[in-house]
Amino acid sequence: MKKTSYGNKKWNLRCCLCLLPSFLGIVVFFLVPYLRVLYYSLVNNQFQKKFVWFRNYQDVLQNEYFLLALKNSFWLILIGVPALMLLSLVLSLSLSFSMRRFRILQDLFVFPMMVPTAAIVVVWQNLFSGSESALPIYVLFVWKNLGICIILLTAALTTIDNSYYEAARLDGAGTIKLHLNISVPLVVPTFFFTLLLAVMNSFKIFKESFLFYEGKYPPEHSYTLQFYMNNNFLKFNYPSLASASIITSLLALVIVFAGLSLQRRVQS
């Protein structure tokens, strides 16, 4: 027993040492900068540094451009993310049953991730010239993130034991019933992870929109949180930038916890 206990402690120590570089990286590159941003959100400016506590947050939440950016970001989540997930799930279900035959299609879906954003935007400007809506950005968001979603969902679908499908076919189940009763329930964890990844990526759809509209002030329908924070950065308005960043990070945290909670309810 003593040898076993000593061996477990030694193994745990090795695991902790292996995790130490990652932990230090989180502290240095995430925790410390985040605390610094939190500090700047509580002071009047970056020069005097007098504490005004939550006045910056109040100003940001009353700012019409921040509210516009927040509304547009939520519209992208409510429209772009469901469209992305539905299309990804349908294509993944199709690919999982014919993996070898359509292997090249999987490679094509990854292609958008390898193409430089500037090249994509040039094509988009020609396709959607004269567009007066946010449709080009929504389509670009779906097209650019489709590959990674398909990879994750297809990987989960290919791990399902084929005997489940064979037994269901013997009972007379068709393709739709196979997917609804076997495929979809078994990939719920991966689906929710992919959904959260898509939501987080929707907050980062900035450089594509910036290049598409060729400037830091796009039309109102495409003015998102990233534009608001970028413009405040260029104006050296760090308290407003910091406050908007903290609010955005808290919104993302709420979305993640809501998604995890919903996942537990669905699986239970």
**For each of the chain's 268 residues, which pLDDT tens digit applies?**
445 565 577 777 888 888 888 888 888 888 999 999 999 999 988 888 888 889 999 999 999 999 999 999 999 999 999 999 999 888 887 776 655 455 556 667 677 777 788 888 888 888 888 788 889 999 999 988 888 888 888 888 888 777 777 777 777 777 677 777 777 778 888 888 898 889 988 888 888 888 888 877 888 888 999 899 988 888 888 899 999 999 999 998 898 888 888 877 776 6
Task: Report the C-alpha gap between 232 and 237 in whole angstroms.
Answer: 5
* Residues 23 and 124 occupy one common structural domain: no
* Residues 10 and 118 occupy one common structural domain: no
The SS3 call for residue 197 is: helix
**Residue 33 located in a structural domain:** yes
* Residues 126 and 156 occupy one common structural domain: yes
Task: Report the C-alpha gap between 136 and 138 in whole angstroms.
Answer: 6
* Residues 61 and 128 occupy one common structural domain: yes
* Residues 19 and 150 occupy one common structural domain: no
Spatial CA neighbour of 204 closest among 85, 109, 76: 76
Work out the number of other CB atoms within 10 angstroms of the CB of residue 47: 9
* Residues 29 and 78 occupy one common structural domain: no
| pLDDT at residue 66, rounded to an integer | 93
| pLDDT at residue 130, rounded to an integer | 77
**Residue 50 located in a structural domain:** no
* Residues 133 and 238 occupy one common structural domain: yes
* Residues 31 and 75 occupy one common structural domain: no
**Which amino acid appears at position 164 of this protein?**
Y
Q: DSSP letter at 205?
A: -
**Residue 23 located in a structural domain:** yes
**Residue 47 located in a structural domain:** no
> What are residue 210's phi and psi, to 5 degrees?
-60, -45
> What are residue 217's phi and psi, to 5 degrees?
-125, 85
Q: DSSP letter at 77?
A: I
Tokens of 114: 């390898």
**Residue 45 located in a structural domain:** no
Tokens of 135: 């449709």
Q: Could you tell me the CATH number of the domain that includes residue 189?
A: 1.10.3720.10
**Residue 192 located in a structural domain:** yes
* Residues 25 and 114 occupy one common structural domain: no
* Residues 8 and 102 occupy one common structural domain: no
CA dihedral over 96, 97, 100, 102, signed as positive or negative: negative
* Residues 32 and 63 occupy one common structural domain: no
**Residue 73 located in a structural domain:** yes
Residue 250: half-sphere exposure toward Cβ, Cα within 13 Å = 9
Spatial CA neighbour of 71 closest among 223, 201, 195: 223
The β-bridge partners of 43 are 51
| pLDDT at residue 56, rounded to an integer | 92
| pLDDT at residue 112, rounded to an integer | 73
CA dihedral over 103, 109, 110, 112, signed as positive or negative: positive
> What are residue 43's phi and psi, to 5 degrees?
-115, 165
Domain count within the chain: 2
Task: Report the C-alpha gap between 139 and 127 in whole angstroms.
Answer: 11
Q: Can you tell me which residue has the tokens 């410390």?
A: 32
Output the CA angle 117-95-169, nearest 5 degrees. 160
Task: Report the C-alpha gap between 192 and 126 in whole angstroms.
Answer: 35
| pLDDT at residue 48, rounded to an integer | 83
**Residue 46 located in a structural domain:** no
Tokens of 21: 């570089």
* Residues 19 and 62 occupy one common structural domain: no
Domain that holds residue 173: 56-267
